[in-house]
Amino acid sequence: MALFRKPAADEPTEDALLDDIGRRMLKRRVDALKSLPTFPESILRLNRLLSEDGAKESLQKIAGVIETDPVLCARILRLVNSAFYGVSGAIITVFDALLMLGLDVVKGLVVSTTVSDMFSGRGSALDGLWEHSYGCAIAAGALGRTLGMSRCEELSAAALMHDLGKMVLASQLTDEYRAVVAQAVADGRTIRETEAKMLGVTHDEIGHWLVLRWKLPVAIAEPIARHHEPMKAGKYADTASVVHVADLMIRGYGFGFAGDRIMPMLDEGAWRHLSLNPDKLRNAVRRMQDDLHAAMNHVNTLQTT
């Protein structure tokens, strides 16, 4: 049974108004979630530093804040020393790790791992989502490098966070979202279609509300909001298009679980925008496979200590 029902075209205006009210009520529920703003103080300080102009000149200060949070510190060092980065045991300081990872990856790591921590132990309705998100980050980096794009770390960071809205829905509307996932699988529909049908809102909308509330950079917020409609991302269409294609790449590979069992349609605008062709895509998939195999033993690096 739908939580918020879409009105039929011939239904009276009052029903449409109720649907709008339902959507606003759900948005207020998300806005009012007590767990969302309760970042540890070190994370809040770090997020402020990462958002400042000239953050690259403040790496030592940022490293100092990270070192006050032993969990985050351990995760960053384990990530940079993982097989994925090919420097096992070589990086022993947070400062050196920041130089290698780049600030965009650190931003993604801070936000997404903190969300995962806040929502852990709540009977998630979407097992496998973290693996899907991590795999998507690897796929985005592989695609960006194949296409010769700059700032591949930023692409990976946006891809890592692209499904934050699902994390919120799966943890805070657990029963309702479990029903959404079950219905999507049973109907052979995408999770996004089923969210819209049963909740009246989709995970990309929820993700957009969330990143705006946290005042994350627009360069991250727009790809999260538009990764299913990348050509609506304006000047961030490059990143949104890469995240969109990377999402399909990792789905096709079968790594993790995004909430459904079918392959969504590829956006033709994204294909043209990135000047993709079958050979480029095959090369990106091969690179993704190599990177993913290298990272397999570290797939839980970002969420375990």
State percent of the chain over pLDDT 90: 31
Dig out the tokens for 74 from the structure: 């351990």
- For residue 249, tell me if it sits in a domain: yes
Query: The domain spanning residue 267 has which CATH number?
Result: 1.10.3210.10
In the predicted model, what is the mean pLDDT of residues 282-300? 79
- For residue 305, tell me if it sits in a domain: no
- Phi-psi sector, 254: left (phi>0), alpha (psi -120 to 50), beta: left
Backbone phi and psi for residue 126, each to the nearest 5 degrees, phi listed first: -140, 70
- For residue 3, tell me if it sits in a domain: no
- Amino acid type, 301: T
- pLDDT in the model for residue 102: 75
State percent of the chain over pLDDT 70: 66
103-107, 108-112, 142-146: range with lowest mean pLDDT? 108-112
pLDDT at 47 over 70: no
105 and 124 Cβ atoms separated by less than 8 Å: no
The closest alpha carbon to 207, from 152, 166, 259, belongs to 166
- For residue 1, tell me if it sits in a domain: no
- For residue 243, tell me if it sits in a domain: yes
201 and 29 Cβ atoms separated by less than 8 Å: no
Domain containing residue 287: 13-298
Backbone phi and psi for residue 93, each to the nearest 5 degrees, phi listed first: -120, 150
Q: Identify which has the larger pLDDT, 208 or 214.
A: 208
- For residue 19, tell me if it sits in a domain: yes
How many Cβ atoms from other residues are within 10 Å of residue 42's Cβ?
18
- For residue 27, tell me if it sits in a domain: yes
Q: What is the mean pLDDT of the chain?
A: 77
Number of domains in the chain: 1
pLDDT at 266 over 90: yes
Q: How many CA atoms lie within 13 A of 52 on its CB side?
A: 14
Tell me the C-alpha distance between 119 and 167, whole Å.
7
Q: What's the sign of the alpha-carbon dihedral 194, 195, 199, 200?
A: negative
Dig out the tokens for 275 from the structure: 């000047």
In the block, tokens 């960053």 appear at 76
Q: What angle do CA 298, 300, 305 make, to 5 degrees?
A: 100
Write out pLDDT tens, residues 16-36. Answer: 454 666 667 766 665 555 444
- For residue 7, tell me if it sits in a domain: no
Tell me the C-alpha distance between 134 and 201, whole Å.
24
What is the pLDDT confidence band of residue 238, given thresholds at 50, 70 and 90? very high
Tell me the C-alpha distance between 22 and 37, whole Å.
23
